[in-house]
């Protein structure tokens, strides 16, 4: 959570997986977008990142993550919810049945506390097709979340589409800097090298967090009042 002497007027809680979560120091410069989100808010808003690496929409509930959030919620708070990557795994969920059922549990639990749930489609992986266009790797999960948001009148940020557009604008080579790519012996935390096209670098996490705040503004949520003016050094390509 952002450190400040002021008591925040509103708190934003994050529920999600490793693409959202705070990464430990030994994994730096890998970072989740939730790790960078506080940079975009004034001191009147607190950000509490409860996302967990490896979490699916189901496991986050089973491991007490949703309860941990709802126990802290106050009326007027927000919960940003992004799951999908780990729901794809063989032990995961089905997009149009169990996945949607789990999302409903988040929505209802947050609303019961007079807080606002915001659904966020998962950030896309960095994969390009033979035509040099960003590939779809998340199956029906983004579509299923959009359908659920429509049915239950839940604000939704289409981060899946926003990240695909970002990758396309930067191109195959330019988009690499958004992710964790090192040659062997190039970085002490990754002596054997790494080519990770799912998890963000700190620079990439800032860009994706910027897209999330862009979505907050586009939705016209009252939370927008606590966003700082956009900084040019947080824009893509820097």
pLDDT in tens, 13-42: 999 999 999 999 999 999 999 999 999 999
99 part of a folded domain: yes
213 part of a folded domain: yes
Average pLDDT estimate for 165-179: 98
State how far the alpha carbon of 189 is from the alpha carbons of 32, 121, 168, 181, 203, in Å. Answer: 17, 30, 29, 12, 17
Query: Do the beta carbons of residue 73 and residue 14 sit within 8 Å?
Result: no
State how far the alpha carbon of 156 is from the alpha carbons of 25, 79, 110, 179, 198, in Å. Answer: 31, 12, 15, 25, 22
2 part of a folded domain: no
pLDDT at 232 over 60: no
Position 237 scores a pLDDT of 45
Q: What is the CATH number of the domain that holds 185?
A: 3.40.50.1110
> Which among 213, 190, 212 is positioned nearest to 29, based on CA atoms?
190
Query: Do the beta carbons of residue 29 and residue 202 sit within 8 Å?
Result: yes
1 part of a folded domain: no
3 part of a folded domain: no
Q: Which residues are catalytic?
A: 18, 195, 199
Q: What's the total number of domains in the chain?
A: 1
55 part of a folded domain: yes
Average pLDDT estimate for 82-91: 94
Residue-wise pLDDT tens digits, 40-84: 999 999 999 999 999 999 999 999 999 999 999 999 999 999 999
Position 1 scores a pLDDT of 47
Range of the domain at 47: 10-234
Whether residue 144 has a cis bond before it, omega within 30° of 0: no
98 part of a folded domain: yes
DSSP label at residue 9: S
Report residue 7's pLDDT band, with 50, 70 and 90 as the boundaries: confident
State how far the alpha carbon of 130 is from the alpha carbons of 133, 135, 138, 176, in Å. Answer: 7, 9, 18, 17
Q: Which element (helix H / strand E) includes 151?
A: helix 141-152
pLDDT at 234 over 70: no
Chain length of the chain: 238
32 part of a folded domain: yes
């Amino acid at each position: 959570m952002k450190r400040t002497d002021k008591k925040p007027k509103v708190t934003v809680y994050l529920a999600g997986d490793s693409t959202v979560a705070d990464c430990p120091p030994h994994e730096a410069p890998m970072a989740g977008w939730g790790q960078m989100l506080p940079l975009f808010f004034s001191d009147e808003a607190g950000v509490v990142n409860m996302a967990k690496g490896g979490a699916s929409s189901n496991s986050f509930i089973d491991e007490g993550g949703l309860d941990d959030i709802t126990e802290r919620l106050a009326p007027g708070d927000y919960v940003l919810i992004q799951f999908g990557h780990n729901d794809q795994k063989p032990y995961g969920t089905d997009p149009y049945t169990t996945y949607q059922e789990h999302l409903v549990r988040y929505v209802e639990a947050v609303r019961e506390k007079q807080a606002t749930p915001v659904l966020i489609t998962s950030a896309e992986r960095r994969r390009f097709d033979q035509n040099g266009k960003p590939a779809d790797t998340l199956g029906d999960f983004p579509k299923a979340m959009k359908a659920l948001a429509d049915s239950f009148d839940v604000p939704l940020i289409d981060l899946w589409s926003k990240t695909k557009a970002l990758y396309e604008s930067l191109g195959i080579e330019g988009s690499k800097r958004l992710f964790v790519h090192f040659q062997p012996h190039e970085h002490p935390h990754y002596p054997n090298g790494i080519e990770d096209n799912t998890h963000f670098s700190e620079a990439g996490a800032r860009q994706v967090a910027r897209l999330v705040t862009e979505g907050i503004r586009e939705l016209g949520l009252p939370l927008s009042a606590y966003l700082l003016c956009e900084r040019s050094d947080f824009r893509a390509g820097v």
